[in-house]
Structure 1
Amino acid sequence: MNKDSFVCAVLASLLGTYSDLYFVGKGLYHFPHRLLPDIFSIHIVFTLIGLPILTMVVLYCLSQVNKWWRAGLILLVSLLMPILEKLAERLGMFAHSDQWMHEYSFFGYLLFCTIIWGGYSWLSSDRLPY
């Protein structure tokens, strides 16, 4: 992993943290089991450790394929997220309100992955003088 993927992993962590804070604050979902529940309303272990690691793995995979495979992988990841959310709900790690529609997750992760890939490809180009 290079410093560009690390920077994007930090960006992913920030985006994940702020989106979780927003949606948890709106009452659309919550995390029943989380570290330091009296302090944090979100699952900080996932947003600060799990999401950055997964982001670096996905970025590595995306960087190894052409643009059509890349688009397909982003779509695949986005399609898998609602399925994984339902699994997390069954395991008691995640709970959604009745207003939540899992299609939100598909479009959210599609946008999230596109932003992260865009940042990574911009950082990896020769546009920056570092």
Structure 2
Amino acid sequence: MERFIMNTVKRLKKSNLQSWQKKRCFGKKNNNNRRAMIITILLVSLIGTYLDLIFVGKQMYTFPIRPFPDVFTINIAFTLIILPIFTAVFLQIAKRLRPLLKVIFILLIGLVASLVEQVAEKWGYFTHSASWDHSYSFFGYSIFLFLIYQFYRWLL
């Protein structure tokens, strides 16, 4: 009788049925993804802040309208709120795209960022020096996003 019970409980090797093991919703892969996302967002915020400090210091552009203008020369709302949120959305979309679409997506964001800067300038949120060319923004954002995505992938 004991032999009969052991044989009926064994899983057939040729069976197509999946194992009845519990699957974890938050496994190692999700934890790595979350950790990589947080580290990348922190890096983006840090780099964005320092780049703004450098360019504002060199008087390439200024932020006439910004939170705490007596304390900060840069727009901390952009570098500490808008840029991190944008980066999280960007990474979520980019990681699902094929390589060619990813490149097109990054270039499209660079183009849109350049256009948004021009609109922000008309609304008074941004002022560029006379020597500024908006193609700098296109190439700058495109290269920045490419490098940020590569860093994110490296962390995974």
TM-score, length-normalised on structure 2? Answer: 0.77
Hey, what does 1:60 align to over in structure 2? 92
Hey, what does 1:107 align to over in structure 2? 139
The Cα shift of 1:79 comes to: 1.1
Which of 16, 36, 49 is the matching residue for 1:17? 49
Hey, what does 2:16 align to over in structure 1? none
**Which residue identity lines up with residue 20 of structure 1 in the other structure?**
D
Distance 1:5 1:80 in 2: 23
Distance 2:79 2:63 in 1: 12
**Which residue identity lines up with residue 68 of structure 2 in the other structure?**
L
Hey, what does 2:127 align to over in structure 1? 95
Hey, what does 2:104 align to over in structure 1? 72
Distance 1:112 1:14 in 2: 13
Q: Per the alignment, in what secondary structure is the counterpart of residue 64 of structure 2?
A: coil
Hey, what does 2:22 align to over in structure 1? none
Structure 2: stretches of 5+ with no match in the other structure: 1-32
Identity across matched positions, percent: 44
Larger radius of gyration: 2
Displaced runs of 4+ in structure 1, greater than 4 A?
none
Which of 38, 41, 53 is the matching residue for 2:70? 38
The Cα shift of 1:6 comes to: 1.5
Distance 1:18 1:112 in 2: 13
**Which structure carries more relative contact order (alpha carbon 8 Å, separation 6+)?**
1
Cα RMSD over matched residues? 1.0
Distance 1:97 1:10 in 2: 29
The Cα shift of 1:23 comes to: 0.5
Structure 1: stretches of 5+ with no match in the other structure: 125-130
Distance 1:108 1:32 in 2: 22
**Which residue identity lines up with residue 60 of structure 2 in the other structure?**
L
Hey, what does 1:127 align to over in structure 2? none
Query: How many pairs does the alignment contain?
Result: 124
TM-score, length-normalised on structure 1? Answer: 0.92
Render the CA deviation track for 1:67-95: whole Å, top value 9, x for unaligned.
11111101111111110000111111111
Distance 1:79 1:5 in 2: 24
**Which residue identity lines up with residue 120 of structure 1 in the other structure?**
Y
